[in-house]
Structure formats: structure tokens, C-alpha cells
Amino acid sequence: MRRTRNLILTVIAVVLFAFFLDKAPEILNGYWQRILNLIAINAILALSLNLIYGITGMFSLGHAGFMAIGAYVSALLVLTPSQKNAMWILEDIYPWLLKVNTPFIASIIIAGLVAAFFGLLVALPVLRLGGDYLGIATLGFAEIIRILITNTARLTNGSLGLKGIPAYTTLFMSWGCLGVVLLCMVCMLRSNFGGVLRAVRDDEVAARMMGINTFRVKVLAFTLGCFGGGLGGALMGNLITTIDPRMFMITQTYNILMIIVVGGLGSVTGSIIGSALVTTMLEWLRFVENPITIGSINIPGIPGMRMVIFSLLLIIVIIFRREGIMGMREFTWDIFFPRRKPAPKTERPASDTVLEVRDVTLKFGGLSAIDDLSFDIKHGQIMGLIGPNGAGKTSAFNVISGFYKPTSGTINFMGQSIGGMSPDEVCKAGMSRTFQNIRLFGHETVLQNVMTGSRIRQKYSWWMTLAPFIFTDVIREDSAVKARAMDLLSQLGLEDFAYEKASSLPYGAQRRLEIARALATRPKFLLLDEPAAGMNPQESEELLQFIRRLRDEFDLTILLIEHDMKVVMNVCDYIHVLDQGVHIAQGTPDEIKANPRVIEAYLGKGAA
């Protein structure tokens, strides 16, 4: 119903816009047509950089390099042999290159693919770096690409550049490309795979615990973004008709970065609005660089002023309105209509010793965080792991869930050795966890957080999400996942929050959401790291009931770390006590309460 309405509205808007483009050459002069073209191209570039940076969270400063690749590839493919012959003056063109000639459409697709290929080459080594280093390394690659272009004259005509590229980029072409890019991107971002991308940005650690191979996802998003960069560069070359290496300096990347910052990092709508705004202003501001005559007064043009005003705007935006125009929001037709809630439904998985920890030791430098720890957990048990501060409880969790590799010892999970597996593999094997300091995908909706947890249990591949109307599996699986997520939310009493931002939830609800997300991976074994931290006594009481219910309803085995002794003593069947990395006691809650070593560990010597 809502879907059909929105589809109709979208089709109407597209048709109206196409009609406008059709009439544009008659209404608008060349100057405005050019601006309109540039808006579309810049929007493509901004969308692709936004995919890399705003959505997946990788700070890349290399976009100009990928544009350059795209522009050159396309230009070399569409220039005719006679044009090429005339242009290569200093050195001869490679004979094979002289003859190559393809239609324009093919050339821009190849341009995108070549850029994507280089993107992949860059991504594989460089994406292992994080943050600023990634920015600098990508900037370096862009610069290397530019230097290569300047120096491989037989291939690129060097610093002379290429001239007389046919002006194939018409309004329909640029906006058509934008339309396709936009459609694919929106479809992808709306699918559960899109949620995965944003999850990697919001919290990579938690995403890995949801079974996501985050490195692979980042390489993919980067490569796709580079495709967009190449495509945009190709269109740009065929619009301006002249390209040379100096066009693709770091300034070009800054321009695109400015668009996405102004529009809102992570917002598709923002990229388009930002592109329209920044492109128009950049062109319009040219007047400050041209001489103006008002009546009898002549004001000389001031070169450089345009960029001064622009850089000031960028600084002001980042200081006073960091989130840009759109923040992370998107435009939907729904803003014109009120929203209603969907409805929910249940199911269950089923073994004896679930987890077997044998002689596990974990050392950092020379210090042992865990010393020779061994214990078993049986199916259906709720086991507590307690100990004073610094006892090594969280380290034990990190070893079991694959974040740390044990220095020695073995861990068997349902008959499978998992010591040394990565968190995403551990998750696939059927284990999930929560974190002491709550690691939600804060910018995402509650529903999307849970759906991200289900991604590893879905079968479709990422590329199908680019065209879900063809690969209907995407739609079918996503709606199944959504239904299950809603179901989980209602079981945990979170259904009213489904469309709220996760970070806006009250604290107790965030804790439950983290558990819901963990359950979405369909675990058989759940690790809870201090679920009662920060809760008041009444909330802790509710939590007690909730943990028992979890075990029964989801047929789970649970291991929990907790400081709130009321919770531990009341909910656990069996308790292990660590102190300074050493396993000092085990037993039922009553045994533990009476154990002198435990009392001493907690209250100090002489307390027992």
C-alpha cells in the first residue's frame, strides 16, 4: 500500500523531471545546461565517495585519482584514431591503443570497471590501515596515479592532456547515469546488506560479532565507490572535452568531500542536495573573480576569492553544523504521510557439553591476563563468571568469542575447536555476545540493528541488492528477516521502539536491544558481559526474570559476567570465580557465598 503509493509518486517525479530535461535546451542557456550537467556528475561522485566514507566509514582522500582513471580510459576509448594521431606529438601512441574505439556507453562502463579494478588493488593492502592513515595512503595513491599519467606519454599523452573529446555527456546522459547509480545505491542501502555497511561504520567490533567479515565488506564498498569515481570522471571528461593531469589534483577530492560534508555524511539525499548547492554556488561565485561594473564604478575581479569564500563556508559548516544539511537522514515520501506499525510471529533450535575450555592462558607482553583456565558449560545452563576488578573476566570473554587468540590451551564449542577463530567465524558457529559498554550501531534504527544480526543467516549475495526487482530473493529474504526481527523485538518488549534510533533508547532498553541483536544471529550459546551494569535495583530485578526467560524460550546456554551479586546469585546455576587471572573457586551460588577465598578476593584479607 505505502510501497505502491511511493512507487507511483517516484515515477511521477521522474517523468516530470525527464520532461524538464527534454525541454531544458530550449529554456536554459548553455551556461545553465552546463551547471545542470555538473550537478549530476558531482552528485555521482559525491554518492560514490559517500558510500566509501559517509556510509562505510573509510576516510578516503583518493577520489580524484579514480576520477582521473575513469576520464582517461573513457577518453582513450571514444577518441577516433585520426584524432589520436594528431594529438600525440612528443611521443608515439601505442599502436594497439590507436585503433581501440568503442561507443560512449561502453566506454564509461569500462572506465568505471578499470577504476574499480585499481580501487580493488589499492583496497587490499591499504584498507588494513585505519582512520587517518587510510586517508593519507589513499591521497598518496591518487597522487601516484596522477604522476603515472603525466609520465606515461605513449599511453596518455603526458602533461599535454587530451583535447577534443566528443561532448557525449548530454543532460539525458548525465542525469540518466545519476538515475541508475541512485537507483542501485538506494536499493542496496535499503537492503539488509546496506545495514551491514552502516554497521561496519558504527561499530566494527560489534559487526564482527554479528558474523560479518568486515574487511571483505570494506573492500567491496571501496571498490564500488571507485567504480562511481571512474564513472563520474568519464562523464566529466566527455562534458569538458579536455582533460589533463592537473585537473585531478587533491583539490578535486576536496570539492567532493565538501559536497558530502555540506549535504550530510552518510545521507544519499544530502549528497544530491549538496551537489546542487555546491556546484551552483561554485559557478555562481565566479562573478567575484570577474570584473564587475556597477554604474560608473569598476570593481576589478579578485582571483582566488571564490575558493576563499568556499573554504570559509566549509570551516563554518564543520564548526557550527557538523552534521551538514541532512545529517544522516534521507528524503522519503513518507514525510508527507503519517506512519503505521506492522505486525509480528516464533521458532526454536537444539546437544550436552556446549563449551569446553581447557588450560587456556592469555598473556599480554609478560603479564598473564588469564592463567590456566578450565571449565565446561552444559546445555541449558546459566553460568556466572565473577571476580573483582581486573580478574580477567572480560579477557576470558574475548578469548572465547575470538577477539583474542589464547596464548595456549584449547576451546571447544559444540565439538568444534574455536581457539584462534575470528569473531565472525565464531558467530557463524553459533555463539553470540554482548559488550560491557554496549556496542550498538548507534545511528541505525532499532529494527535495523536486529536485522544486521540476521545478515549471516541470509543466502543472497551483495550484488543482487543493486537490482532487487530482478533478484527477488533479496526482497523475500529481507522481509523474512524483518518479520523475525520484529518478532524478536516484541518478545523483548522493544516493538514500540522499532523505528527509533538505537542511541536514543533508554539505557535498559539499549541493553535488551543488544541482546535482541545477538539473538538475531540465531545463537545456541550467549555470552552476556555485565548485563546489569548501570541498572537500578528494580531494573536488575526485571533483568533476572528476563535472563531465565531467554534461556527457556530460545533454548540457550548462557555465560555471564556480572558485578551485581544479587543478579549472579539468583540467576546462575553454577559460578566460576576468577581473581587476577587465576581460577580460584567454583560452585553453586550458596557454596560461593560461603567460600573463604571468594570472600577474601572481594572484601580483602581478614574479611572471612
Partner 1 sequence: MEAMLKVDGLNVNYGAIHAVRDVSLEINRGEIVTLIGANGAGKSSVIRSIMGLTKSTAREMTYISPRDSKPVNIQGKPAEEHVKLGISLSPEGRRILPQLTVEENLTLGAYIRDDADGIRDDMEYVYSLFPRLKERHKQKGGTLSGGEQQMLAVGRALMSRPDLLMLDEPSLGLAPVLVDEVFAIIREINAQGRTILLVEQNAFAALKAAHRAYVLEVGAVSLSGTGPELLDNPKVRAAYLGG
Partner 2 sequence: MNLNIFVQHFINALSLGSLYGLVAVGYTMVYGILRLINFAHGDIFMLGAYFVYFATIVYHLPWAVGVIVAIILTTICGLLVDRIAYKPLREAPRISALISAIGVSFFIENFAVVVFTGMPRPVVQPAILMKPIEFSGGVRLIPLGILVPVVAFALVGGLMWLLYCTKPGLAMRAISFDIETTRMMGVSVNKIIALAFGLGSALAAVAGIMWALRYPRVEPFMGMTPGIKAFIAAVFGGIGSVPGAMIGGLILGFVEIMSVAFFPTLSGYKDAFAFLLLIMILLFRPTGLLGEKLEDKI
Distance (Å, whole) CA 444 – CA 436: 20
Instruction: Indicate the DSSP class of residue 392.
Output: S
Q: Which of residues 256-285 bind partner 2 (CB under 8 A)?
A: 257, 261
Q: Is residue 315 at the binding interface for partner 2, with CB under 8 A as the rule?
A: yes
Burial label for 472, CB within 10 Å (0-12, 13-18, 19+), is exposed
Interacting span for partner 2 (CB under 8 A) from 237-245, 298-306, 532-540, 554-562: 298-306
Nearest approach, Cβ of residue 396 and partner 2 (Å): 13
Rounded to a whole number of angstroms, the minimum distance from the CB of residue 132 to partner 2 is 5
**Smallest gap, in angstroms, from Cβ of residue 533 to partner 1?**
6
Is residue 75 close enough to count as binding partner 2 by CB under 8 A? no
Interface pick for partner 2 out of 10, 80, 85, 151 (rule CB under 8 A): 151
Decide: is 137 part of the binding site for partner 2 (CB under 8 A).
yes
CB of 587 to partner 1, least distance (A): 13
Q: Of the candidates 304, 338, 365, 537, which one interacts with partner 2 according to CB under 8 A?
A: 304
From the list 530, 554, 558, 585, which residue makes contact with partner 1 (rule: CB under 8 A)?
Answer: 530
Radius of gyration of the chain (CA): 29
- Span interacting with partner 1, options 54-62, 292-300, 340-348, 596-604, rule CB under 8 A: 596-604
Interaction partner, residue 137 (partner 2, partner 1, none; CB < 5-8 Å by kind): partner 2
Dihedral sign for Cα 100, 105, 111, 113, please: negative
Q: Which stretch binds partner 1 (CB under 8 A): 259-267, 291-299, 376-384, 388-396?
A: 388-396
Sign, CA dihedral 18-22-24-25, equals positive
Does residue 605 belong to the site contacting partner 1 (CB under 8 A)?
Answer: yes
Distance CA 193, CA 353 (A): 34
Q: Which helix (H) or strand (E) holds 382?
A: strand 382-386
135 near partner 2, rule: CB under 8 A: yes
Contact (CB, 8 A) for 427 and 382:
no
The H-assigned helical ranges of 160-289 are 171-190, 192-202, 204-209, 214-240, 250-263, 268-284
Q: Which residues contact 419 (CB under 8 A, 6 or more apart)?
A: 360, 399, 405, 406, 409, 410, 411
Nearest residue (CB) to partner 2, 129 versus 160? 129
How many other CB atoms are found less than 10 A from the CB of residue 25?
A: 12
State in angstroms the smallest separation of the CB of 591 from partner 1. 12
DSSP string of 436-491, one letter each residue: TT----TTSBHHHHHHHHHGGG----GGGGG-TTT-HHHHHHHHHHHHHHHHHHHH
| Site for partner 2 contains 250 (CB under 8 A) | yes
Residue 193 interacting with partner 2 (CB under 8 A): no
CA angle 14, 19, 25 (to 5 degrees): 130
Applying CB under 8 A, among 2, 5, 322, 566 the residue interacting with partner 2 is 322
Subset of residues 204 to 223 that bind partner 2, contact rule: CB under 8 A: 205
- Closest separation between CB of residue 544 and partner 1, Å? 11
C-alpha closest to that of 433 among 512, 511, 549, 528: 528
Q: Is 323 exposed, middle or buried (0-12, 13-18, 19+ CB in 10 A)?
A: middle
Which of 81, 301, 390, 493 touches partner 1 (CB under 8 A)?
390
Helix 507-520 vs helix 472-491: angle between axes, to the nearest 10 degrees? Answer: 130
User: What's the CA angle centered on 338, arms 336 and 344, to 5 degrees?
Assistant: 135
- Residue closer to partner 2 by CB (options 130, 166) is 130
> Binds 403, which of partner 1, partner 2, none (CB < 5 to 8 A, cut-off by type)?
partner 2
CB-neighbour burial class of residue 305 (10 A; exposed 0-12, middle 13-18, buried 19+) = middle
Part of the chain binding partner 2 (CB under 8 A), chosen from 125-133, 268-276, 291-299, 553-561:
125-133
| Number of residues lying near partner 2 (CB under 8 A) | 44
The one among 121, 124, 292, 603 contacting partner 1 by CB under 8 A: 603
Among 435, 441, 460, 574, binds partner 2 (CB under 8 A): 435
| Choices 18-26, 111-119, 139-147, 550-558 (CB under 8 A): range interacting with partner 2 | 139-147
Q: Binding of partner 1 at residue 596 (CB under 8 A)?
A: no
Q: Is 139 in the site for partner 2 (CB under 8 A)?
A: yes
Binder of partner 1 out of 510, 525, 546, 576 (CB under 8 A): 510
Q: How far apart are CA 255 and CA 560, in angstroms?
A: 50
Is 506 a binder of partner 2 (CB under 8 A)? Answer: no
* Neighbour tally for 569: CB within 10 Å: 17
Interaction between residue 141 and partner 2 (CB under 8 A):
yes
Q: Which of 575, 567, 584, 569 is nearest to 384 (CA)?
A: 575
| 141/554 with CB nearer partner 2 | 141
Q: Which of 5, 128, 322, 566 binds partner 1 (CB under 8 A)?
A: 566
Stretch in the footprint of partner 1 (CB under 8 A) among 204-212, 464-472, 547-555, 563-571 = 563-571
Q: Which does 534 bind (CB under 5 to 8 A by kind): partner 1, partner 2, none?
A: partner 1
User: Which residue's CB is nearer to partner 1, number 477 or number 530?
Assistant: 530
How many other β-carbons are positioned within 10 Å of the β-carbon of residue 334? Answer: 12
Q: Which of 133, 284, 331, 499 binds partner 2 (CB under 8 A)?
A: 133
CA–CA separation, 388 and 586 (whole Å): 15
Residue ranges in 157-213 assigned as alpha helix (H) = 171-190, 192-202, 204-209
Tell me the closest approach of the beta carbon of residue 571 to partner 1, in angstroms: 11
- The DSSP annotation for 2-61 comes to HHHHHHHHHHHHHHHHHHHHHHHHHHS-HHHHHHHHHHHHHHHHHHHHHIIIIIT-----
Residues that bind partner 2 (CB under 8 A): 59, 125-126, 128-129, 131-133, 135-137, 139-141, 143-144, 147-148, 150-151, 205, 250-251, 254, 257, 261, 302-308, 310-312, 314-315, 318-319, 322, 398, 403, 435
Residues that bind partner 1 (CB under 8 A): 388-390, 505-507, 510, 530, 533-534, 536-537, 563-570, 580, 593, 598-599, 602-607
